Amino acid sequence: MIYLVRHGQTEFNRERRIQGHVDSPLTALGVRQAGAVGRLLRDLIREPDGWRIVSSPLGRAASTAAIVAGKLGGLPVELDERLKEMSWGPHDGRLRAELEAEHPDTFGRTGWAFDASAGETYEEVATRVGDWLASLPPEPKRKIVAVSHGISGRVLRGLYANLSRDESGQQDVPQDAVYLLQHGGVGRIDCEPLE
């Protein structure tokens, strides 16, 4: 079983900037979201023995993973490059509105990614995320919390559930929910609303 988590809200998320491989810190809301996800996982997992937390090495995901790990009794966090977000190349860090104005077709049919003129392609992201998925132990032995990003998390869920590229791109990317990947299916579990 894999519990897949997206990092909490960042300053760039709030500003509607494309993050890609550049980083920005979690906002106060993002810290609260990570705490809520950690509490939800603590309730779902109950006994953390044998569980692993694997995170993208980008700061926003690693910070979220550290908060989640604290709620799970201080499990160590493993960093894995293959879980990184899609890079937009020279567009990393730019405001989404600016990029849309300059290149109206950038976000394509799904409204998100993979039609950019620079950066990683869907195939490149799918290859590295798929490589991570293929490296895991067989399903009955999997006990993993994975902390990733919006686009790479969509691709991971899509690969796991055998979705098309377009179906993968149309999935939600909440920062206050956990996805359970088990037996070839993907289920969403929402956190309690934050006060």
Q: Please give the positions annotated as active site.
A: 7, 85
User: Do you know the residue count of the chain?
Assistant: 195
Q: Name the residue type at position 99.
A: L
The Cα 147–Cα 188 span in angstroms is 15
C-alpha angle with apex 23: 14 to 1, nearest 5 degrees?
90
Helix 122-134 and helix 150-160, axial crossing angle in degrees, nearest 10: 60
The tally of CA atoms less than 13 A away on the side-chain side of residue 130 is: 11
Q: What angle do CA 92, 144, 150 make, to 5 degrees?
A: 25
In one letter, which amino acid is 78? Answer: E
Is residue 20 within 8 Å of residue 119, measured between CB atoms? yes
